[in-house]
Amino acid sequence: MNLNTPLSEALSTKKEYILALKEMGLYTVSDLLLYFPRGYEDLSQFKKIWEAKDGEIITTKGFLHGIKLVSTKNRRMKLVRAMFYDDHGSECEVVWFNQPHLIRMLPMDKEVIVAGKVQYQYGKLILQSPTVETIKEVQIHAGATVPIYPQHEVITSKWLREKIYPLLFLTKEFEEVLLEEIIKEEGLMPKSEAIREVHFPSNTKKLKAAQDRLGYEELFLLQLNAVKAKEEWKESRSSESPVGGVPLDPEFVKDFFSTLPFTPTGAQKVTIYEILKDLECPFPMMRLLEGDVGSGKTVVAVMALLQMVKNGYQTAIMAPTEVLARQHLVSISKFMEVFEKKFPSKNPINIQLLVGSLKAKEKRTVLDGIKSGQVDIAIGTHALIQEGVEFPNLGLIVIDEQHRFGVKQREVLVQQGSPHVLNMTATPIPRTLALVAYGDQDLSVINEMPPGRLPITTKIVPPEHRETVYRFIEGKVEKGEQVYVICPLIDDSDVLEVKSVKKEYEQLHDVFPKFKIGLLHGKLKSAEKEAVMQKFKDGEVQILVSTSVIEVGIDVPNATMMLIEGADRFGLSQLHQFRGRVGRGSVQSYCFLYTDSSSDLTFTRLKAMVDHTDGFKLAEIDLKLRGPGEVYGVRQSGLPDLKIANLLDGILLDRVRKAAEVIVEKSPDLKKYPVLANMLQKLRKKMEES
């Protein structure tokens, strides 16, 4: 037997269990040994029966006597009953439900360890469905820190413990992925020992060391992949006469700043400097610009566009929707118009829009202008990556809400020569998560809001206060303000007791009969969605009922209120994104969170929305509560599920990143490190499949 032995050969079990293991993605011994616990139950502290409190889970030693099978009155349930005596002479009754096989399996008159919940019923003490294990050198079910695994309908934690423990001798066959120098420098446990300890820990200290060791390896491989991808990006572009060497001109930056109606924040100045320094390099930039809603990413992008146009290059901005593309056209044109008025040039900047709704003649004119090099800034949607779009001198691409485009879609534009790439997102991602999910890019973060913005008032609304909020909204709409209403579902569900967008749309006609109400959801065609959004933007619709498809970045200054139905169904980052649709004007804005849930976790999460307006802080709380796999935008990045690594440990992540950079510097092709190269290949394949 070895690590590659199929579980069907390695385990003595029924076929249904092997099929269940396959459903869990477990095929070989290696897969099973790398199936780590999701948590632990401390059953190592022994207690006397008479010391136990009602409802307490205890571990104790003693003997079982007088086991018997009893049927209930209606004969629908069979009970296994026995008496248990601990080492101190105390006794209690033990009961198991519908497990008649225990009659032949439980050890009688042998000392055992019992762990379970104590209950006092009818004046006597009962242990309900406890775990029973004979005393051995190593305890795996009781009398120890017991692993609890992610379970299946058929596969239980108890079953997994019994199957994994006998296979631990094979952990010595796992190759040591990390270099000896890293293990020594970081003081890490050997991999084989770490795998054994994470399943059946000797003590708390060793469990922590095992988790640190395995978590370090997970993060190291992801960072090695990111660092390697970054180097591959540079190499792949360096042979294609890359755009580069555009000098940073401080006076030009000052000129641009002098045309702005506001003073850029410190964070904006820092990110502008980082980007302009990238444009000086002899290889193309690949940078992710993170900025909370309203933090001023557009100004940063405009400075970069101006820098490239000034040096004779074409530029492009790709947005996920026509409404957003047209909004960029208006805002960027205003910036350029003011700049050119103060600093006129012989060749005015030519900005053109390329979207699917253009008429054939208009589209041809824009395409010809791009091909001839006359268009300096092309702003568009997916239309920019359609056949027939040719940039002879593309120097910079700005991709807005980059997670909304696939990797291959983004690559089409990147292949037009070898331009610099600036990806932008309004989705706040904690720095630690961004380093893992988007580690192949340099990161710039605008973590400062422009002064003078009114914070959005956020309130949790229980069902009994719903009518009060409706009347408040009515008064505001009568004054000319507008409202977003967000629902989790398009259609009604028999399973989920939350409002659908269609039902809410119908109900709100009765609640607000005087107002024009619009409907927006993912099943509408693109043109229909664009038309609804445009009507809302133009003020023809006062209340817009929508699912989560509501556009990121859409600017409707007159929208001052947001009502989110079933707020507990959304993550904090997503709720913050929704909230960012209001508060874009000078009027006080409001966000109302509706929930029928009374759970403490729901209240804790939604209270965070009330207490915090910083999207990055909320994203960190979201990461802590829900894990990296659920945080918005990460699934699309191909990031595999992390089994053990803690993405909240920024100091560790920095150390891991530096270690990966040293390895790639020593051996860019990883030929010096064949085991690492092999593991990296497997990781990339897994990421592509996800």
Strand order in the sheet with 517-520: 457-461, 590-594, 559-564, 482-486, 543-546, 517-520
DSSP-derived letter for residue 24 is T
With 90 as the cut, is the pLDDT of residue 429 above it? no
What's at 664, amino acid-wise? V
Any idea which residue has 């929208």 for tokens? 559
322-343: per-residue pLDDT in tens?
Answer: 888 998 999 999 999 999 999 9
Domain ranges of the chain: 45-143, 207-238+643-689, 250-280+295-425, 457-612
Which pLDDT band, with edges at 50, 70 and 90, does 635 fall under?
Answer: very low
Cβ–Cβ < 8 Å for 428, 619? yes
Q: Which residues contact 91 (CB under 8 A, 6 or more apart)?
A: 49, 83, 84, 85
Q: For the segment 221-234, what is each residue's pLDDT rounded down to a tens digit? A: 999 999 998 888 87
Give the three-state DSSP class for 95.
strand
Chain Cα centroid distance, residue 608: 18
Torsion of CA 291, 647, 29, 25, to 10 degrees: -40
CATH assignment of 457-612, among 3.40.50.300, 3.90.1300.10, 3.40.50.1970, 3.40.50.880: 3.40.50.300
Residue 86 has pLDDT above 70, yes or no: yes
Q: Please tell me which residue, 370 or 293, carries the higher pLDDT value.
A: 370
* 619 touches 426 (CB < 8 A): no
CA dist 37 and 42 (Å) reads 13
Residue 354: predicted pLDDT: 95
Phi, psi of 83 (to 5 degrees): -110, 145
Structural tokens at position 82: 């026995």
- Name the DSSP class of 456: P
The pLDDT assigned to 242 comes to 57
| Burial (CB count within 10 angstroms: exposed 0-12, middle 13-18, buried 19+), residue 342 | exposed
Query: What pLDDT score was predicted for residue 646?
Result: 80
How high is the pLDDT of residue 477?
A: 95
Q: Give mean pLDDT, residues 430-453.
A: 84
For 459-479, how does the pLDDT look when each residue is reduced to its tens digit (9 = 90+)? 999 888 989 999 999 999 999
Lowest mean pLDDT among 45-49, 232-236, 571-575: 232-236
Give me the phi and psi of 551, to 5 degrees please: -70, 135
Confidence category of residue 638, pLDDT binned at 50, 70, 90: low
Helix (H, G, I), strand (E, B) or coil at 115: strand
Tokens standing for 639? 């990031």
Band of residue 628 on the pLDDT scale cut at 50, 70, 90 = low
pTM of the model: 0.77
In terms of C-beta density within 10 A (0-12 exposed, 13-18 middle, 19 or more buried), how is residue 195 classed?
Answer: buried
Pick from 591, 602, 596: nearest CA to 563: 591
Q: Kindly report, residue by residue over 363-420, the tens digit of the pLDDT.
A: 999 999 999 999 999 999 989 988 889 999 999 999 997 666 666 666 776 777 788 9
Sole residue written with tokens 């190269």: 677
Architecture of domain 45-143 in this structure: Beta Barrel (2.40)
- Cα–Cα distances in Å, from 544 out to 152, 418, 470, 477, 582? 42, 42, 14, 12, 12
Q: Which amino acid is at 347?
A: N
pLDDT band at 104 (very low <50, low <70, confident <90, very high): confident
Confidence grade of residue 673 (pLDDT, cut at 50, 70, 90):
very high
Q: What strand order describes the sheet that includes 286-291?
A: 351-354, 377-380, 314-318, 394-400, 420-425, 286-291, 442-446
Contact (CB, 8 A) for 538 and 528: no
Specify the pLDDT at position 407. Answer: 61
Report the alpha-carbon distance of residue 223 to residue 440 in Å, rounded: 8
The percent of residues in the chain predicted with pLDDT above 70, rounded, is: 93
Strands 39-42 and 78-86: unpaired
Confidence of residue 685 (pLDDT cuts 50, 70, 90): confident
Q: Please give the pLDDT value at position 633.
A: 46
pLDDT value of residue 494? 45
Percent of the chain scoring above 90 in pLDDT: 50
Given the structure tokens 């006998």, which residue do they identify? 166
Comparing 94 with 494, the larger pLDDT belongs to 94
Question: Is residue 457 within 8 Å of 591, Cβ to Cβ?
Answer: yes
Mean pLDDT score of the chain = 87
* Alpha-carbon separation of residue 386 from 350, 367, 395, 413 (angstroms): 21, 11, 19, 10
How many angstroms separate the CA atoms of 324 and 321, rounded?
5
Q: Residues, the chain, total?
A: 690
pLDDT the model gives residue 48: 85
Q: What is the pLDDT of residue 661?
A: 92
Query: Which is the CATH superfamily of the domain at 250-280+295-425?
Result: P-loop containing nucleotide triphosphate hydrolases (3.40.50.300)
Which band of pLDDT confidence, cut at 50, 70 and 90, is reported for residue 187?
very high
pLDDT above 80 for 526: no
What is the three-state SS of 578-629?
HHCCCCCCCCCCEEEEECCCCCHHHHHHHHHHHHCCCHHHHHHHHHHHHCHH
Would the CATH topology of 45-143 be identical to that of 457-612?
no
> CA 308, CA 249: separation in Å to the nearest integer?
12
Q: Contact 634/571 with Cβ under 8 angstroms?
A: no
Mean pLDDT of 178-194: 94
Residue 632: its pLDDT value, please? Answer: 45
pLDDT digit string, tens, across residues 402-412: 666 666 666 77
C-alpha–C-alpha distance, residues 243 and 249, integer Å: 17
Which of 45-54, 146-155, 509-518 tops mean pLDDT?
509-518
Q: What residues contact residue 385 under an 8 Å CB cut-off, 6+ apart?
A: 318, 409, 412, 413
Taking the C-alpha atoms of 326, 327, 331 and 332 in order, what is their torsion angle to the nearest 10 degrees? -50
